[in-house]
Structure 1
Amino acid sequence: MNTNRLRVGVIGAGNIATIAQLPTLVQRDDVELAALVSRREDPSSLVRRWGFNAAYKTVEEMLAAQELDAVFVLTPRSEHAHAVELCLKRDVDVFCEKPLAPATQEAEHLADLADERGRILMVDFNRRYAPVYTAGREAFGDKGATFCVAQKNRPGSEYRATFENAIHMVDLLRWYCGGEPVHVAAHAAGEDPWEEDGLAATIRFSTGNTGVLMAARTAGAWNEKLDAYGDGKTVEVRAPETVSTTINGVTTSRELSAEAYGWATATDTLGFSTAVHHFLDRVADRAQPLTSGREAVRTQRLLDQILAAAGLPTEEQTGREWASHAVNAS
């Protein structure tokens, strides 16, 4: 038996937590689920299902009652900043759902706080941990992709759709192309700037590489894909299942189908479980996560530039701050 288990708290146990993080956490014999924060009137079913030691109504109550090593903040985005700040000030390492905060200035404050306190702060940009995207990125090495086109399309919009959902692809463009943005051009569709019908953008990076974002909310079905080119190589990702790499006319394909990947679910194929393991490993070795708070700020700052270039707001709409919701696996 492992007697040096990490005492972990979880804030929020909605769809994303039950699909992604909690099934991964209960598989680790070095983790003790010490505490849950839930708004449910009676969270006893969650406590029994996942094996929590105790449940609390607020983050403040949990932190007052428990000595924790790490906390997972899995609430809607409007609640992220408050919970993350409280945990960091108690010198607890934090894993936070994306985005880190509704406003980039808030996110930057949290990244600064984590540095000041010497804490690990990681944001769940899980696509960087998905096997297909990881394999595609490895093909380009330190130079990155000369051109990268990232798309996340789906039918129907939602409040702040690009910020809530297409931010995943913005983060992938930063990762694949490298460097910092030096020029951004963008165009949005639709009449409601708070619930746009989609957005397209072109980003020129300091590396000389170029990224293209497509986020169509007028599509006929959900799809997520990425095409990247450079140094005589082509990478085609069709998430979450396939990645093809072509070098000098020879194509190698990898398919993460149910049969090929041990009946894997989105928890594995979209990188959710690997992200959890990555965070816990960084808690142990104190190295910076791939998607640290500081990295998340850079992605959010680029997203702000894209939104501004498209004439969309970069802040929450007054009165709708609570319209965000916990993301699901899609």
Structure 2
Amino acid sequence: MAPALRSRWTDSSALSLGILGVGNIGTVHLKSALAMDGVDVVAAADAVPENRRRAERAGVPRTYDEYGTLLEAEALDAAVVALPPFLHADAVEQAAAAGVDVFVEKPLARSTEEADRLLEAARAAGISVGVDHTLRYQPDVKGVKREYDEGRVGQVPYASMTRVNDFPFGRPPAETAPPSWAHDPDLAGGGSLVELGVHCFDVLEWLFGEVDVDGADVDRTLDSPVEDAATVLLRAPETATTISLHCGTYQWEDLPEVNTRLRLEGVTGTISNTDHLPGNFYASAATAALRNTASRLTLGDPDVFGPTFYLQAHYEALLAFCEAIREDETPPVDGADGRRALELAETAYDLAEASDDAIETPEVRP
């Protein structure tokens, strides 16, 4: 944070926050911020009128149809960048010009080159950059990390991770067309490797230290310009761990209760994220939702962790960012972490392309 900005913090002041983008994930961040003590959501921006109305109904005092206008008009301490990836760099650069710290939805950018550009703008302006890699904050993943760090299974020669989702399709039958940018590699930066893989790369290095990408394969099972499935083989030199990773986008009618699987095969036992889930996932979610409704009716504090632990993870990630910038500390998941995840994705793309090029088409003779 730039020295000129430090004087804004006092024990009694609230952090003034703006939300740039109030679509699906932007709404999650908005609701998280509204539930936080010491955070004042003063404005939101979105090009879609209904999204602006949603923010207004939630209690946001002012809305704008352009995030640049919001950044010029409002005296913010921080902003959440919940825009499509092709707008991240521009939004961060405009926030930097306004001296506003940023919490950026993943992926940080569409490429490491673009990430370098926005991080340089942030460095020059003295602003902090946090990245929403929420897997670190999911209770099940934190449980795996805790057991591993405690040495419960000793050295881990092999680990596996899977992450699947239905974005951008939605559960069939689809009621609305998916956002066009999600299927455009120039706008999204890629497919499943960027949408889902960056989360996994971040968690794997959080667990095992720096990892190397040894091989990769990407596939397009649908008629789409971006991959909807990717499998990556990694190696963690520091812990001598071999890791297999798969991420995919599937239009399932019934999604799994938890869309991430993480398993560590240790020399004295196994650690799995499934061991750290509620006994009955849906019953737990329903109970949290009922508590949340009751607390609103009685004017109590809402259960910001319900109805599912996904909301808990997003809440904790944004809260950790807000606490870090208030204390003039580096966010726990910062711009360098976001860039590193992109670097691993780009390496996987390069290896997958090289592997495809190496496969020779056999000559067919009559």
TM-score range, shorter chain: 0.7 to 0.9
2:199 to 168, 174, 194: 168
Residue identity matched to 1:232: T
1:273-288 alignment to 2 at 5 Å?
273-288=315-330
Q: Which moved more, 1:153-162 or 1:104-113?
A: 153-162
TM-score, length-scaled by structure 1 = 0.79
Query: Which structure has the highest strand share of the two?
Result: 1
Q: 1:177 to 1:186 in 2, by over 3 A?
A: same
Offset from partner CA, 1:177-221 (integer Å, 9 cap, x none) = 21242x421122347783334221111123132221112456866
The corresponding residue for 1:246 is none
Offset from partner CA, 1:11-55 (integer Å, 9 cap, x none) = 11011122x211111112312111111113476623432222212
Does residue 34 of structure 2 align to residue 26 of structure 1?
yes
Q: 1:28 to 1:62 in 2, by over 3 A?
A: same
1:151 to 162, 167, 177: 162
Residue identity matched to 2:262: L
Does residue 219 of structure 2 align to residue 210 of structure 1?
no
Q: 1:163 to 1:273 in 2, by over 3 A?
A: same
1:120-135 alignment to 2 at 5 Å?
120-135=128-143
Q: Alpha-carbon deviation of 1:128?
A: 0.8
How far apart, in 2, do the equivalents of 1:128 and 1:4 lie?
29
The answer on whether the counterparts of 1:150 and 1:172 sit within 8 Å (CA) in structure 2 is no
Residue identity matched to 1:163: V
1:250-289 alignment to 2 at 5 Å?
255=279, 257=281, 263=288, 264-266=306-308, 268=310, 271-289=313-331
The answer on whether the counterparts of 1:123 and 1:291 sit within 8 Å (CA) in structure 2 is yes
Query: Which structure has the highest helix share of the two?
Result: 2
Unaligned runs of 5+ in 2: 1-10, 170-181, 184-190, 289-305, 355-366
The answer on whether the counterparts of 1:145 and 1:230 sit within 8 Å (CA) in structure 2 is yes
How far apart, in 1, do the equivalents of 2:340 and 2:200 lie?
13
Higher Rg of the two aligned structures: 2
The answer on whether the counterparts of 1:199 and 1:310 sit within 8 Å (CA) in structure 2 is no
Q: 1:179 to 1:166 in 2, by over 3 A?
A: closer
Does residue 332 of structure 2 align to residue 290 of structure 1?
yes
The corresponding residue for 2:19 is 10
The answer on whether the counterparts of 2:20 and 2:26 sit within 8 Å (CA) in structure 1 is no
1:177 to 202, 205, 208: 208
The answer on whether the counterparts of 1:148 and 1:176 sit within 8 Å (CA) in structure 2 is no
TM-score, length-scaled by structure 2 = 0.72
The corresponding residue for 2:264 is 228
Q: Alpha-carbon deviation of 1:270?
A: 6.2
How far apart, in 2, do the equivalents of 1:118 and 1:233 lie?
46
The corresponding residue for 1:189 is 219
Aligned length: 297
1:297-316 alignment to 2 at 5 Å?
297-311=339-353
SS at match of 1:310: helix
How far apart, in 2, do the equivalents of 1:214 and 1:44 lie?
36
Q: Percent identity?
A: 24
Q: Which moved more, 1:63-72 or 1:209-218?
A: 209-218
Note the aligned Cα RMSD (angstroms). 2.9
The corresponding residue for 1:57 is 65
Q: Alpha-carbon deviation of 1:73?
A: 0.6
SS at match of 1:107: helix
The answer on whether the counterparts of 2:135 and 2:141 sit within 8 Å (CA) in structure 1 is yes
SS at match of 2:281: coil
Offset from partner CA, 1:272-315 (integer Å, 9 cap, x none) = 11111111111211222222111111111011111111119xxx
Q: Alpha-carbon deviation of 1:257?
A: 3.3
Does residue 229 of structure 2 align to residue 198 of structure 1?
yes
Does residue 67 of structure 2 align to residue 67 of structure 1?
no
SS at match of 1:63: helix
Q: 1:287 to 1:211 in 2, by over 3 A?
A: farther
How far apart, in 1, do the equivalents of 2:157 and 2:164 lie?
23
Unaligned runs of 5+ in 1: 244-252, 313-330
Q: 1:291 to 1:118 in 2, by over 3 A?
A: same
SS at match of 1:271: helix
